[in-house]
Structure 1
Amino acid sequence: MPTASTKYASDPYFDHPVSSFWHRFGRQTVERLGLRGGETVLDVCCGSGGSALPAAEAVGPQGKVVAVDLAERLVQLGEAKALAMGLRNIEFKTGDMLALGYPDASFDVAVCVFGIFFVPDMVAATKELWRMLRPGGRLAITTWGPDLFEPANSAFWEAIRAERPDLLKGFNPWERISTPAGLREMLSEAGIESTEFVAEAGRDPLNAPEDWWLIVMGSGYRGTLAQLDAATLARVREKNLAALRDCNAITTNVVYGSAGKVA
């Protein structure tokens, strides 16, 4: 189950160039918002700053970005990146997006890229983000589209099935909102009706099957692999990569959702 929030800042796989799509989609989310100088932005499930750092650049020194993630190492890496970029208008925090404690109408913009679906109650989480927006504020939620990382994803789980069928997952949490209609329904349940959606089809190249394993080791698939002993892990890797000998790209479909709060 891939998520930037489970990658580790000290890990050589984290932020590897082959996984650059994490940050590309974060930047595109920010570009679609058309941020203005001086605005305040809340970025939850921020990872190491894929959307938060470009947001800080966009709002300028008179604006501010608060970037929140549960993973302390990711927060630390984001802070290091901001320092290297000379960005003094961004604050990285370790915390739960459902318990931030900000009052109503604290931000102009709220952003969540590839994270809302990991909250058990997506509707409640979205309501909380909406509550913290000022009148006229904007909300952006970016999620995965259908067929994420195929055909490599299916090959991975087939390799797991052969070795540890007890670890198979029957449902990915983003599947409920992997289409504009699904994301619209979720936002509607949160009481948000003024919405826009863009579904973007994508394919990211694999120069070799080993590129896929770099993605696996730098994402939430690691949570499954951590439950394998060394010999089983080696067999899973071999089976997974053998199935990808003729694969030169993986599917990276995305759905961008946005909503405006009545002024």
Structure 2
Amino acid sequence: MGELEEAKAKAAAAYNAAADHFDHPVSSFWHRFGRRTVERLSLRPGEAVLDVCCGSGGSALPAAEAVGPQGKVVAVDLAERLLALGEAKAREKRLTNIEFKTGDMLALGFSDASFDVVICVFGIFFVPDMVAATKELWRMIRPGGRLAITTWGPDLFEPANAAFWDAVGADRPDLVGRFNPWERISTPTGLGEMLNEAGVANPDIFTEAGNHPLACPDDWWLVAMGSGYRGTLSQIDDTETLARVRGRNLANIHDCTAITTNVIYSIAVK
């Protein structure tokens, strides 16, 4: 399996597994930052929007509301179980202008200039070649259209993140991540350089510092179970080992009341 196919398989497996906790109220940040991304785009009624790595609709659903019945949103993800969650929410909201579909952002089959707006929230870093992925997204935007890429800033989910990997490493050092793919674009400079390399000139880049509250340490474990960390946890098939990892992780953050959620937004006009 090549690097790209392996990355796609890992992302799909992690987030399909995480679907049972993805929309838990303790992980409300997915939808908060998705909506804030859409708010920065000033979408107009009737526009056509592509949302890649859409998850359960954190940005796709507010985009569908913004473009109205004359507009259209195509929401794409590799994780079928997250798409099912998004479809259920669209039915509940009676949104008929949104289509959720399984797909790879690098091979969607849309022609040049198919959309007024393309959105990617917390997803571009799952592709080994972020520049190639961004070029492909840019290709599908009409002249005058906009590209929105939102990514994590520095110190994501600290201090719980470091405690998580310490806890995993004590039993399963083979599973400890040595590199977080978003680190290359976790600063405005890094994100701007990546966009410029992809041919996306003069993007507007905004930073938002923040913290996500935890009512108790158990809230962090629910966040981990409903996010990319689930891919690691799913590889620990021994229940006693998993219980030790959980206990060690939570003991190390017993006095933690918030985790870091710094975000970087970019908006570029073609």
* Bin of the TM-score, shorter chain as denominator length: over 0.9
Among 72, 82, 85, which residue is 1:64 paired with?
Answer: 72
1:232 is matched with which residue: 236, 241, 260?
241
Percentage identity across aligned positions?
Answer: 75
Q: Distance in 1 between matches of 2:161 and 2:52?
A: 26
- Match 1:244 to one of 235, 253, 269: 253
Is 1:20 the counterpart of 2:57 in the alignment?
A: no
Alignment partner, residue 118 of structure 1: 126
Q: Does 1:223 align with 2:246?
A: no
Q: Which whole-Å CA distance do the structure 1 matches of 2:109 and 2:175 have between them?
A: 36
CA distance in 1, matches of 2:29, 2:268: 24
- Contact kept, 8 Å, 1:9 with 1:77, in 2: the verdict is no
User: How much does 1:8 deviate?
Assistant: 3.9
1:166-215 per-position Cα deviation (integer Å, ceiling 9, x unaligned): 11111100000001100000001101112110111000111100000000
Counterpart selection for 1:49 from 48, 57, 80? 57
Alpha-carbon shift at residue 120 of structure 1 (Å): 1.1
The structure-2 alpha-carbon separation of the partners of 1:122 and 1:10, relative to structure 1 and needing over 3 Å to count, comes to closer
Is the Cα contact below 8 Å between 1:9 and 1:74 reproduced in 2?
no
Q: Which residue of 1 aligns with 2:117?
A: 109
Offset at residue 164 of structure 1 (A): 1.1
Q: How does 1:182-261 map to 2 (within 5 A)?
A: 182-228=190-236, 229-261=238-270
> 5+ residue gaps in structure 1?
none
CA distance in 2, matches of 1:127, 1:241: 41
Deviations 1:22-50 (A, max 9, x none): 11000000000000011000000000100
**Separation in 2, partners of 1:104, 1:92:** 21
Change beyond 3 A, Cα 1:4–1:86: farther
For 2:64 and 2:161, how far apart are their aligned partners in 1? 33
Q: Secondary structure at the match of 2:22?
A: coil
Structure 2 residue 185 is the aligned partner of structure 1 residue 177: yes
Q: Is this contact kept in 2: 1:5–1:45, CA < 8 A?
A: no
Which residue does the alignment assign to 1:88?
96
**Amino acid of the residue matched to residue 48 of structure 2?**
T
Q: Distance in 2 between the 1:193 and 1:71 partners?
A: 31
The answer to whether the 8 Å contact 1:13/1:214 transfers is yes
User: In structure 1, what residue type is equivalent to 2:219?
Assistant: D
Q: Would the alpha carbon gap of residues 48 and 5 (structure 1) be closer, same or farther in structure 2, given more than 3 Å must change?
A: farther
**Cα distance between partner residues in 1 of 2:121 and 2:22:** 17
Give how far 1:5 is off.
8.4
> 3-state SS of the aligned residue for 2:111?
coil
Match of 2:162 among 148, 154, 165: 154
**Does the CA contact (< 8 Å) of 1:213 and 1:237 recur in 2?**
yes
Once residues 170 and 80 of structure 1 are traced to their aligned partners in structure 2, the CA distance between those partners, rounded to angstroms, is: 36
Measured after TM superposition, the shift of residue 226 of structure 1 is: 1.4
Deviation at 1:11, TM superposition (A): 5.1
- Note the residue ranges of structure 2 that are not aligned, 5 or more in a row: 1-10
CA contact (8 A) 2:17 2:231 kept: no
